[in-house]
Amino acid sequence: MLKLISYKEISTHSDLFFSQFQLRHREFIDRQSYEVKSIDGMEFDEYDSLAAHYLVFTQDGRTVLGCSRLTPIGLGCMLADHFPDLVEDKSIFTAPRVWEGTRFCIDRRLPAETRRVICQSLAVGYVEFGLAYGVDQIIGLMPTLILRSVFERAGLTLERLGSPRAIGAHARIQAAAIPIRPWQRDQADAATGLRNLLISDIRPFRDHVA
């Protein structure tokens, strides 16, 4: 089950809200040795603000098995602040209706088939969220392998924003954009069979202005 949560849901979905930070700690700090902030077994950074929205995948309604963060770039953009050299046309950083997807992670202890479903669900969630919020593009940086194996395999068309380069332990990191269009949802539906994953969560957010 894919859920969309923000600071507004802390009182009703506190287990999910904090579980995602615990998952991030296990995946980024414990497993990959990222030198990032943590407290009480939870990983966080300056982009975990009141503007952030989180896609979380759960089976029991309490434990997060996969997650990603979405933030309007006008209120904080990791790509612009820390990795601008990965983007050739920097006008995208001031373009309207652009959000950034970050902190994409899956619990690596899960079986491969479960991880595949979670990856596809998060990818579809990006598009469903974007269409509901009037987003034009979602940008981010990931290993090129993940861009292909997660997003393009889920049927999404990506636009590369620059050439890949080595960052840390990753030999090829690349910035890319997902154009948010109805045809992207149709392509993802055809590739994954997944649709309307966020329909029950998005309704309360339709008045949101990015």
Question: How many structural domains does the chain have?
Answer: 1
What is the domain extent for residue 139? 2-205
User: What is the C-alpha separation between 93 and 86, in angstroms, rounded?
Assistant: 12
Structural domain includes residue 32: yes
Maximum Cα interatomic distance, the chain, rounded to a whole number of Å: 43
In the prediction, which pLDDT does 207 show?
Answer: 46
DSSP 84: G
The pLDDT tens digits for 180-189 are 999 999 999 9
pLDDT tens, position by position, 81-130: 999 999 999 999 999 999 999 999 999 999 999 999 999 999 999 999 99
Whether residue 210 lies inside any domain: the answer is no
Asked, for residue 38, whether it belongs to a domain, the answer is: yes
Residue 199 has pLDDT above 90, yes or no: no
Query: Is 70 contained in some domain?
Result: yes
In angstroms, the CA 67 to CA 52 distance is: 13
What integer pLDDT is reported at residue 18 of this predicted model? 97
The C-alpha atoms of residue 14 and residue 8 are separated, in whole angstroms, by: 10
What is the pLDDT at residue 209? 43
List pLDDT tens digits, range 3-36.
999 999 999 999 999 999 999 999 999 998 888 9
Contacts (Cβ under 8 Å, ≥6 apart) of 205: 4, 132, 133
The answer to the question of residue 114 being in a domain is yes
Structural domain includes residue 165:
yes
Task: Name residue 2's beta-bridge partners.
Answer: 57
Query: For position 203, what pLDDT does the model report?
Result: 59
The fraction of the chain above a pLDDT of 90, given in percent, is 90
In the predicted model, is pLDDT for residue 210 greater than 50? no
Question: Mean pLDDT, the chain, as a whole number?
Answer: 94
Question: Which of the pair, 126 or 167, is modelled with greater confidence?
Answer: 126
What percentage of residues in the chain have a pLDDT greater than 70? Answer: 96
Q: What is the CATH number of the domain that holds 108?
A: 3.40.630.30
> Which secondary structure element, helix H or strand E, spans residue 142, and what is its range?
strand 137-143
Q: How far apart are CA 171 and CA 161, in angstroms?
A: 17
Q: Evaluate if residue 206 carries a pLDDT over 70.
A: no
pTM assigned to the model = 0.94
Residue 99 lies in a domain: yes
Neighbours of 133 (CB within 10 A): 20
Residue 133: pLDDT band (50, 70, 90) is very high
